[in-house]
Amino acid sequence: MIIVLRPDSTESQIDHILERIRELGFKPHLSRGELRTIIGVIGDENKLAAEPLSAIPGVEQVLPILKPFKLASREFHSTDSVVEVGAARKSTVRPVRVGGGALLMIAGPCAVESAPILDTIAGQVKQAGANLLRGGAFKPRTSPYSFQGLGEEGLRILRDVGDKHGMPVVTEVMDPRQVGMVERYADMFQIGARNMQNFDLLKEVGQARKPVLLKRGMSATVKDMLMSAEYILAEGNPDVVLCERGVRSFEDSTRNMLDLSAVPNVKGQSHLPIIVDPSHATGRPDLIPAMARAAVAAGADGVHVEVHSCPEKALSDGPQALLPPQYASLLRDLRRLAEVMGKSI
């Protein structure tokens, strides 16, 4: 940590700052320059971070120099983590791996609507090459008057359909009180963008024993996302998969702005797998295939796509879903790109 002093800082202020740093158990290094005096404090910044050094009179800026996360960092774990989904379940489900060259292909409808509809979609996406089935039972909707999901009934349908097709399943959990229930049915928790900084929920899934798909918040930086992953890891759950799904921006022709640079950005500093969700990012089926291809070429560990056999009757987010044949065509492209990237689906 570097503390830059104000040009008008006094000697007694400087002495006070040095004393304060020593009180906190750190060793300060003072450098007086022509235009500015600076104090270097080299040590564990995580301990210092909670200290309001910039509030001390005479201080102009406090510049951190180390990353604020540990367990999520490459320094902590240098090789790519591989997360296995569906392994815990003793059933017909075929476990799937993500990271280290294995691509996760998540597909399914936005919401679980009924067993027959989900069954149809699951059959089609599995055939196309998807290896993890998604479907929401608890839906975070902007309006209290929109369809909020089928709740536990939705979880039951999702589980049954997953078992029938031999696919592990992922579904969103929104409330810490539902974590236990969701864990009984699903193979992977999804934490949605709106809950990326719902810290009590993060701690709760951190104590569970199923992998977590953590979606980037709509105004979260890459660092914020890694700090949220750190919450889960710090509770003892090592199986976190990140998901870039677009952030809010001024561009009004897409729902969000997909930040694909988050993929190599995360990979440079963290060992966690990261996948991409072009469906929520763009909200436009005409853009989804191109963005899914770009994700694989950028080095993503998987792609999350909403697929619905009858988008115009979907109870949630129908307009952004691909049709099953569109999804099948996309997967053919992704397989060829994965090969160029030295990966496989």
Non-local (6+) Cβ contacts of 248 within 8 A are 218, 219, 256, 257
Q: How far is the CB of 89 from its own copies (least distance, A)?
A: 26
Non-local (6+) Cβ contacts of 262 within 8 A are 216, 222, 225, 244, 274
| Burial class of 115 by CB neighbour count within 10 A (0 to 12, 13 to 18, 19+) | middle
* b/e 243-268 (16+ beta carbons within 10 angstroms → b): bbbbbeeeeeeebbebbbebbebbbe
In sign, the C-alpha dihedral spanning 200, 203, 207, 212 is positive
Residues 53 and 158: their CA atoms lie apart, in Å, by 51
Q: How far is the CB of 56 from its own copies (least distance, A)?
A: 5
Nearer to its own copies, 167 or 331 (CB): 331
Residues 182 and 184: their CA atoms lie apart, in Å, by 5
Which residue, 260, 262, 283, is CA-closest to 272?
262
Nearer to its own copies, 120 or 254 (CB): 254
Q: How far is the CB of 60 from its own copies (least distance, A)?
A: 8
Which DSSP state fits 83? E
Nearer to its own copies, 85 or 222 (CB): 222
Nearer to its own copies, 96 or 288 (CB): 288
Q: How far is the CB of 282 from its own copies (least distance, A)?
A: 5
- The helix (run of H) or strand (run of E) holding residue 122 is helix 115-128
Nearer to its own copies, 127 or 146 (CB): 146
Q: How far is the CB of 274 from its own copies (least distance, A)?
A: 12
CB-side exposure of 242: number of CA atoms within 13 Å? 32
Q: How far is the CB of 166 from its own copies (least distance, A)?
A: 29
Residues 4 and 30: their CA atoms lie apart, in Å, by 10
Q: How far is the CB of 82 from its own copies (least distance, A)?
A: 20
Nearer to its own copies, 86 or 172 (CB): 172
Angle between helices 115-128 and 152-165 (to 10 degrees): 40
CB 208 within 8 A of CB 228: no
Which DSSP state fits 311? G
β-strands 132-134, 59-63: how paired?
unpaired
Nearer to its own copies, 186 or 226 (CB): 226
Nearer to its own copies, 54 or 92 (CB): 54
Q: How far is the CB of 133 from its own copies (least distance, A)?
A: 21
